[in-house]
Structure 1
């Protein structure tokens, strides 16, 4: 089984050339993000992820988590890994120094988070959710709440969760039933939440739950939902932990993958009521929570990249070690990576992973510019850019992770189906990614609805103009002129599909929902090609300046492979968009069940 090694070189390249780290460092807010600082952080995070966290991955999958006397027991090594994570200040990178953060770019923190997720996705979910909770509290909480809770959450001494889903309320949160009753300076929260990631554990001293609930007189629907901070242990006025709050783990879910991540059914207020504190305004809870969820969706897209990277490394190691047959052009038996089809699979894994990394980092870079740019007009443009890219990052990166991890099993052949090789774990772990933090159906609907139809394609057109500019640049390169022609053809088809989406959705109520998934996959495929073309051009430029690192040649070859072997998939997605909703909506409920009558 291969050891994980963080792809620091590619991360640093993408931060510099795609997410625009040098330009970010030129802004006053991020002036500490110098090249030396970025390099040092990535190198040390790579060491910690490989030496401390990655060894717990298989152990966690085998041992899982268990519930004993109301407390979640975690696998061996998890607590020590978390202790080193917290002591290293890794959870504080992108947060406000006023509360103990380091004030560095979110895109830099993103690259570090990718390492945790590759090393052990089950373990990495804990800091991922905690950072999302910090973001929601920082943007919406009162000064008192922020002063009481943020320093310990940012330091990693306390962790955080998000509590949305209930047994009868999944994607449709308008029907949640959890309640919050005013009681002096706080509220008493009651109800049950399901699928709560890391809802309980013993790695941190306290767990801060962000809970959606309704006030007694709240109206029906989403306007009646408020957000509450409910700590596992109450916090005394002096900042020390007090008595246990009325929060319990009712049960643990038994899952296909991420066995070492505690997915809890949480019971609030089974006795006297769980003490909670209002975050933001009454009735604005969903808006507050979405500040957490939008970043969480980018983080889940990044998990798709991370698990793809881990699967690729393991498949590459196996293909280089496994001897089988004589490849064309060789007289002796050799490693299977010499065979054309094995190389096709490995290159597909590599290309998808690097395209996804560039796309995710790029979106996060736009969030940094939106936060720090002094020109408010440019900041607003960057915010809109990040918003448009978010459903593509979450949806496309997690969908292709299914293919990449499946290819990882395939490269191993029969051994891939055997748990001991580890390839199957990545395949199982990846399967949750298109589901949580908003299913990919929701991401696709968000892309076609809120991000395209609502502004009549303005945000989509802005991205397409960027793609066109990259194509124009590549057209002047002897090496990439053919790739530019191919991407131009894909761009024209995407523009036509977008026009069709705008016109047909106005005439047919079913159209947008029926084509949303394929439209999202088409745009993801196009954007992946765009990002790799940008990367290839940047690598070519560095070669022209005299740099001779073989990585630069590999970067260009990866872009060319994508244009030949992966980009053509846009044609099938666009063809399905063109067919519209007729074939889907022709089936009634009766037709779907007719074979069983």
Structure 2
């Protein structure tokens, strides 16, 4: 089992040099938030992640949660870790001050969340869902519901969940059949939900379930879904958890990975109906839930980075310890010196740094959006499916490379490499599969506005190309040529889609995956190219990063351009075939 070392320097570099954290905080009127605070916060979070959460990662994998008589008991040690998380104020980091939060930028919360999920993804899923519930309540809850539930959710005293999926309604939420019957000022909720992450546990004094259900007179389909708060414990007159509500965990799913995170089958209303409280207006629950979903999708993309970073660190450590082959003098050679192993490590490192740049850039745009920046809102909409889809798909490759670096030992559970690979496999599936993200990107984010948001992104990338090609540094000039070639290939593919999709009804679905992956590699390469420019500038100045880090940043960006950017051309070429042969044979021939 490997140790976990939080990537503090690269996180600080991205926040400072790419995001422009100080200027961001000035625009948000956060006078006391600056890079000095960032460094302290991230360093302290790293201590909890490395010292408390990381040692529990394999424990949760080997000894997952259990359920008995409708109640879930989490992995031993998780409750103590969660209390440390709460007592040190980590749950309050980005919450609004009026409900007990610290009101720090979302991008800082994202940087910290990377550390939780790298250290222990099963554990990190619990506060992730709570953060989503907070977002939904802030946006759509009544003043009364906010007062009753937000302070405890933001403090971490209570946790939150998201209850969408049912046995016969996966991603098709139009098929949701859970019922909500009016009962005075409240509602009686009945039905079953599946795949509910941290649906029950004993780490918090209450669990606030956000549940999609239908009112008796609701129209069919997605237009007839309402959103309800259904607490595990009903609140007494003092606003404290009192009587147990009619909600329980029927069973736990036996999963490929994330064993430390209980995935529950939840039953509502077995004994007359669980008491629920309507959020917002009737029949608008799906749009309300998507407030939570979009937050969750970026968070899941971040998990792709997190698990990949943990896998990279394990591979790097093993490659320096494993001896194979001999020097002429008979001394043994660590496998990190073998070209193929070094290739895999550089693929992991450069992929992670590209994902970190994208995740934090997208998170900063969310901060700007919350303060009325229309251009940032458009960029967030464009980024979200790329963050969720591309980053979780790339995580499959990077965690697999970790196993490959380990060789045969990677296939043995005791090394821990397999856990990261298994844990990563859920990421392209939940909170909207890669296919759903790909359709979102090509449909609502490209065709819907006739490519306007995409064109602005292309313009921004073109500006970076001009800076690179005009640089006096040969390595940056070459990077500019490579990025320009990839941009031209991606632009050709996007133009093909815009021209042909309106008349070819199968085209959008057939090429959407390639389009998503193409855009991921392009944006990742672009952000790393910006990083290389910043690093090159800093080398000529007094800086806090050091020559070794800055030189490595430029080299890593160049490796990404050599190794990953050619995939933009490949995906572009595939898109421009139209993939018409997707339906060239009958179902019986498949």
Give the TM bin, normalised by the shorter chain: over 0.9
The answer to whether the aligner puts 1:356 opposite 2:352 as a matched pair is no
Q: In the alignment, which of 452, 455, 474 is matched to residue 458 of structure 1?
A: 452
> Using the alignment, how far apart are the partners of 1:38 and 1:461 within structure 2?
33
SS of alignment partner, residue 480 of structure 1? helix
Q: Any idea what the Cα deviations from partners look like across 1:242-270, whole Å, max 9, x if unmatched?
A: 10000010111000000111000000011
Q: Is the 8 A contact 1:2 1:317 kept in 2?
A: yes
Query: Partner of 1:581 in structure 2?
Result: 579
Q: What's the offset of the Cα at 1:92? A: 1.1
Query: Partner of 1:193 in structure 2?
Result: 193
Distance 1:439 1:28, change over 3 A: closer
Query: Partner of 1:228 in structure 2?
Result: 228
The answer to whether the aligner puts 1:555 opposite 2:553 as a matched pair is yes
Q: Is the 8 A contact 2:399 2:424 kept in 1?
A: yes
Uncovered stretches (5+) of structure 2, i.e. residues with no partner:
none
> Using the alignment, how far apart are the partners of 2:542 and 2:585 within structure 1?
61
Matches within 5 A, 1:319-334: 319-326=319-326, 332-334=331-333
Query: Partner of 1:243 in structure 2?
Result: 243
Q: Any idea what the Cα deviations from partners look like across 1:353-378, whole Å, max 9, x if unmatched?
A: 11001001101100111113xxx4xx
Query: Partner of 2:2 in structure 1?
Result: 2
Q: What's the offset of the Cα at 1:236? A: 1.6
Q: What's the offset of the Cα at 1:590? A: 2.0
Query: Partner of 1:595 in structure 2?
Result: none
Q: Is the 8 A contact 2:159 2:207 kept in 1?
A: yes
Distance 1:248 1:305, change over 3 A: same
After TM superposition, the structure 1 stretch with the greater mean CA deviation from structure 2, 392-401 or 64-73, is 64-73
Q: Is the 8 A contact 2:213 2:227 kept in 1?
A: yes
> Using the alignment, how far apart are the partners of 1:414 and 1:68 within structure 2?
38
Q: What's the offset of the Cα at 1:331? A: 6.8
Q: Any idea what the Cα deviations from partners look like across 1:254-300, whole Å, max 9, x if unmatched?
A: 00000111000000011110000011111100000000100110000
Matches within 5 A, 1:525-544: 525-544=521-540
Q: Is the 8 A contact 1:19 1:363 kept in 2?
A: no
SS of alignment partner, residue 29 of structure 2? helix
Aligned residue-pair number:
586
Query: Partner of 1:257 in structure 2?
Result: 257
Query: Partner of 2:402 in structure 1?
Result: 408
Query: Partner of 1:42 in structure 2?
Result: 42
After TM superposition, the structure 1 stretch with the greater mean CA deviation from structure 2, 217-226 or 22-31, is 22-31
Q: Is the 8 A contact 2:65 2:260 kept in 1?
A: yes
The answer to whether the aligner puts 1:427 opposite 2:426 as a matched pair is no
SS of alignment partner, residue 507 of structure 1? coil
Q: Is the 8 A contact 1:246 1:273 kept in 2?
A: yes
Distance 1:246 1:39, change over 3 A: same
Q: What's the offset of the Cα at 1:530? A: 0.4
SS of alignment partner, residue 111 of structure 1? helix
Query: Partner of 1:517 in structure 2?
Result: 513
The answer to whether the aligner puts 1:33 opposite 2:30 as a matched pair is no
Q: Is the 8 A contact 1:91 1:154 kept in 2?
A: yes
Q: Is the 8 A contact 1:228 1:276 kept in 2?
A: yes
Q: CA RMSD in A?
A: 1.1
Q: In the alignment, which of 380, 385, 390 is matched to residue 374 of structure 2?
A: 380
The TM-score, its normalising length taken from structure 2, stands at 0.98
Q: What's the offset of the Cα at 1:179? A: 0.6
Distance 1:273 1:151, change over 3 A: same
Distance 1:498 1:330, change over 3 A: farther
Q: Is the 8 A contact 2:28 2:368 kept in 1?
A: no
SS of alignment partner, residue 55 of structure 1? helix
The answer to whether the aligner puts 1:64 opposite 2:60 as a matched pair is no
The answer to whether the aligner puts 1:205 opposite 2:243 as a matched pair is no
Distance 1:178 1:560, change over 3 A: same
Uncovered stretches (5+) of structure 1, i.e. residues with no partner:
593-597
> Using the alignment, how far apart are the partners of 1:18 and 1:259 within structure 2?
36
The answer to whether the aligner puts 1:266 opposite 2:262 as a matched pair is no
> Using the alignment, how far apart are the partners of 2:92 and 2:10 within structure 1?
23
> Using the alignment, how far apart are the partners of 1:320 and 1:533 within structure 2?
29
Q: What's the offset of the Cα at 1:27? A: 2.3
